[in-house]
């Protein structure tokens, strides 16, 4: 791989208004996830963000607009994480079946690193779980920006790795199981730590989760390969 020469990136400092806006989004993400939309007042959000309550209307038009901004923040954050592992959804998958399998393992490791070990993921997952329980327009933005394209890309990888059609019911369900096993370690975090005797889930614990989930992926791929070989025998 040819490395490009380092490029100097000019960064400007965020303005006070931009910092206030970002603080309000972070506060909303935290409180909406923890207490629900209806259970959270704008006064609580402003206090959490250490901002004037009038800044919510100024920046977002109100509480609903702030929920939309929180959803957009989630989409942007996860698109960045997923893009590093999966690439562009329309981009071709290099390397044939072996390359696709390697990308699946890399995506699984990246998911564990973010969903399980990243502190930020806790607030994101709480927010999304509430939206899944009581869907609003915010869930539509998250689904269209994250769930559907990420799942579709993983299904494309699965087709390349196994030969099974990307949009078959079996493939879509299999990909959901791969994602679901990772998500459990976040939503069941407290139970996992108690049962495993862990005080936290940091880098060392996340590596063990990667090993376990990767082992599951290896077993599924091996079973698919075995089934194909068996089907080819006379």
Task: Give pLDDT tens digits for 10-24.
Answer: 345 778 889 999 999
Q: Which pair of tokens denotes residue 67?
A: 């929920």
Separation CA 151–CA 71 (nearest Å): 18
Task: Give pLDDT tens digits for 57-96.
Answer: 999 999 999 999 999 999 999 999 888 778 766 667 767 8
Please give the average per-residue pLDDT across 20-43, as a whole number. Answer: 96
Please give the average per-residue pLDDT across 162-167, as a whole number. Answer: 95
- 9 pLDDT more than 70: no
pLDDT for res 10: 38
Q: Are 73 and 141 in contact (CB under 8 A)?
A: no
Q: What is the dihedral of CA 100, 102, 103, 109, to 10 degrees?
A: 150
How far from each other are the two terminal CA atoms of the chain, in whole angstroms? 43
SS3 content of the chain, % helix, strand, coil (to 5): 75, 0, 25
- 32 pLDDT more than 70: yes
- 234 pLDDT more than 50: no
Q: What are phi and psi for residue 89, nearest 5 degrees? A: -60, -25
Least confident stretch, 43-52, 172-181, 221-230:
221-230
């Amino acid at each position: 791989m040819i490395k490009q020469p380092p490029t100097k990136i000019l960064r400007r400092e965020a303005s006070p208004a931009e910092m206030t806006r970002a603080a309000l989004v972070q506060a909303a993400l935290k409180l909406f996830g923890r207490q629900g939309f209806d259970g959270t007042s704008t006064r609580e959000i402003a206090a959490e963000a250490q901002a004037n309550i009038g800044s919510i209307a100024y920046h977002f038009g109100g509480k609903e607009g702030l929920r939309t901004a929180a959803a957009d923040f989630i989409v942007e954050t996860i698109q960045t994480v997923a893009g590093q592992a999966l690439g562009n959804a329309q981009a071709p998958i290099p390397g044939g079946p072996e390359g696709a399998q390697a990308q699946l393992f890399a995506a699984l490791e990246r998911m564990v690193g973010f969903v399980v070990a990243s502190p930020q993921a806790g607030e994101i997952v709480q927010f999304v779980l509430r939206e899944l329980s009581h869907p609003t327009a915010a869930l539509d933005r998250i689904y269209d920006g994250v769930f559907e394209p990420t799942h579709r890309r993983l299904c494309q990888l699965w087709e390349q790795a196994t030969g099974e059609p990307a949009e078959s019911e079996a493939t879509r369900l299999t990909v959901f199981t791969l994602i679901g096993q990772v998500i459990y370690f976040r939503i069941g975090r407290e139970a996992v730590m108690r049962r495993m005797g862990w005080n936290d889930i940091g880098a060392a614990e996340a590596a063990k989760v990667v090993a376990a989930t990767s082992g599951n992926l290896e077993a599924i791929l091996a079973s698919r390969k075995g089934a194909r070989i068996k089907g080819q025998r006379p």
